[in-house]
Every structure is written in C-alpha cells, then in structure tokens.
Amino acid sequence: MMELRELYEELILDHNRNPRNYPRKPDGANHTAHGFNPLCGDEFTVHLHVKDGVVQDVGFEGAGCAISTASASLMTEAVKGKSVEQAESLFANVHKLLTDESEQDTTDPTELLGKLSVLIGVKEFPLRVKCATLAWHTMHAAIKDDEDTVTTE
C-alpha cells in the first residue's frame, strides 16, 4: 500500500478536511474563473484580488475529490502575497511536476515548490492528474483573462 500513503499524505488529508480560503470570495476580488472537470464533476471557482501586480488575496468555492480540494487549498496558500509572475511560475512548476515524463530531472521538487511537492504522489495515478491541476488551471485562467473578459468588480 505504499502508493496510497504517498498519494493521501497527511498534508493532503488535512487540506481536504479543512480547506484554506474556502469557501471564500475575498473582498475586492477582481479576477474570477470557473473550472470544471467534466470527467469527474470536480468544480471550482477561483477568485483573486490582484493589485499592483500582486495577488493580495485569493479564495475558492465549489466541490471536488480530496486531491482536487487539497490541491486548490494549497494553491491559495501558495499564491497569496506572490506577484502575478511568481504565481504563474508556480503554476508552471506544479504542472511540470505532475506531467513531466522525463526522469533526467534530478532536482529535488521541494527546493522549487516547498510543501506543494506533496502533490507528486498523484503522478503514479495518471487519471487523477487532472484533479490535482484543476484549481491551478483555474487560477491561471483567472490571471490570464483580459480585464474585459474576466469578471471585474
């Protein structure tokens, strides 16, 4: 049962049971995106309050499995207070961590990602990678979207 403990780490279980910044739409939220995983039915809305190029506050709503919920919760903790560039770079690194097939990269993921590297257990379960990346894609969409297409308050 090694894989199970690697996947359902204590940190994942904790963030699933008590998701941070959830269910929450922060005051001043000016970037919102909706994420849906039609295969599973995981569904999240991510709200960001971005000011002066910095994610001042972030929250999410919706429901999903333990992996997607924990990943969303970890995401909100990770990007809060970061510059938009840093948030985008975290998204790229998490995405790479979960989808990169090459074994050559021997960098310890904890160096780049800190506690987000807990998500690496998902890699053994390719069908669940979409669960783990859903909130990240949604956050990315919220940032990416032009002022005129994103919900602005």
Partner 1 sequence: MSAPSPTQFRPTFPVERIREDFPILHQEVRGKPLVYLDNGATVQKPNAVIDATARYYRHDNANVHRGVHALSERATAAYNAARSTAQRFINADDHREIVFVRGTTEAINLVAQTWGKANVGPGDEIILTELEHHANIVPWQLLCEQTGAKLRVAPIDDRGDVILEVYAELFSERTRLVAVSHVSNALGTINPIRRMIETAHAHGVPVLVDGAQAAPHMRIDVQELDCDFYAFSGHKVYGPTGIGVLYGKAALLDAMPPYQGGGDMVRRVSFEGTDFAPIPYKFEAGTHNIAGAIGLGVALDYVNGIGLESIAAHEHRLLSYATEALADMNGLRIIGTAREKAGLLSFVIEGAHAHDIGTIMDVQGVAIRAGHHCAMPAMQRFGVAATARASFAAYNTLEEVDALVTGITKVREVFRL
Identify which of residues 1 and 103 has a Cβ nearer to partner 1 in the complex. 1
Instruction: Give the relative orientation of helices 66-79 and 10-17 as an angle to the nearest 10 degrees.
Output: 90
Minimum separation from the CB atom of position 98 to partner 1 (A): 15
Phi–psi pair at 19, nearest 5 degrees? -65, 135
Minimum separation from the CB atom of position 64 to partner 1 (A): 7
Minimum separation from the CB atom of position 87 to partner 1 (A): 26
H helices of 1-153, where?
2-7, 10-17, 66-79, 84-99, 109-113, 129-144
Residue ranges in contact with partner 1 by CB under 8 A: 1, 3-4, 7-8, 13, 39-43, 63-67, 69, 125, 128, 131
Identify which of residues 59 and 121 has a Cβ nearer to partner 1 in the complex. 121
Written as six digits, the tokens of 53 are 């190029």
